[in-house]
Amino acid sequence: MEIGINKTMNKHQFYYFLLVCSIGCSLKTADTYDSLKIIDVKSHLQLYEKNEKKLFDFGNTSRIAFQGNDRLYIFTRIKTYRKMGWDDKGLPIEKSIRTDTTYDIFAIEKGKQMGLRYSIDNFQNEKGSVFQIDSVLEHIGLGKDNHKSFNFKLGIPSSVEKDGRNTIERFSFNKTTPEDPDSVYRFFDKDLSKIDFTFSAELDKESDSKLYKTIFIFKPIRKGTASPNVEIPRRFIENSIAISNFGHEKRLKEIFEKFKRDRQKSK
């Protein structure tokens, strides 16, 4: 996808990587083994499709739970219950009765390639099915290379705002094409430094803080500048991490314990 032009990306491909950023980013060791931390990794992309002359919004949220050296990758699954019915013409059709939200849990030890998959509703009765972490992350667009765009060298920020342990850096982007972003914002928070996830280990080290949000701003492009007879509106790409209010902590702790038992049995 080319931002603001069409659905075929070229050299601007890294912008899309920011949408599917990164469960594969670098991880550090948690501070205590018994502590349970859950984060939301969110991405939001606005894409203008010139043929339809519409601005589309794409969003993605992934959750990760941490306990010691173990991780749970939590993915939402919608279950739909149906029954047979009849339409106005008396023909048989399937009708949706209700939908339920459940979660698939991919448990893995840090640094390992193989883990065990469970369902959050029935994990007590499951042995766990084996999965490869790389294939899972690539399948959902969260491969290990997708975080590289966060490390771009942007030079000296044009402005810096500090508020206690929070810092916001604004950069004016050196545009080479009309579709390039006009500015980039990086948000840092020292209080999140112990979170066992990073968009950029390099920037975290340089700032002695945690890069927890980036925003790429694209100003409107006048008609005829990037494409004839098309005026492209303002767009943005935002990526962030935050402490999750997902809940289900008791059940997640039980899954961590079951995963430890199951992996010992498989050795």
The 3-state secondary structure of 86-142, one letter per residue: ECCCCCEEEEEEEEEEEEEEEEEECCCCEEEEEECCCHHHCCCEEEEHHHHHHHCCC
Q: pLDDT value at position 90?
A: 74
3-state secondary structure of 100: strand
Q: pLDDT value at position 24?
A: 47
Q: pLDDT value at position 26?
A: 46
Q: Encode the chain (267 residues) as per-residue pLDDT tens digits.
A: 333 333 334 444 444 444 444 444 544 433 444 588 999 988 899 988 888 888 999 988 889 999 999 999 998 887 776 777 777 777 777 776 767 888 999 999 998 999 999 999 999 999 888 999 887 777 655 666 666 778 888 889 999 999 999 999 999 988 888 888 899 999 999 999 988 888 888 999 999 999 999 999 999 988 877 777 788 899 999 999 999 988 889 999 999 999 999 988 876
Q: What is the pLDDT of residues 69-113, one digit of tens each?
A: 999 999 888 777 677 777 777 777 777 676 788 899 999 999 899
Q: pLDDT value at position 78?
A: 79
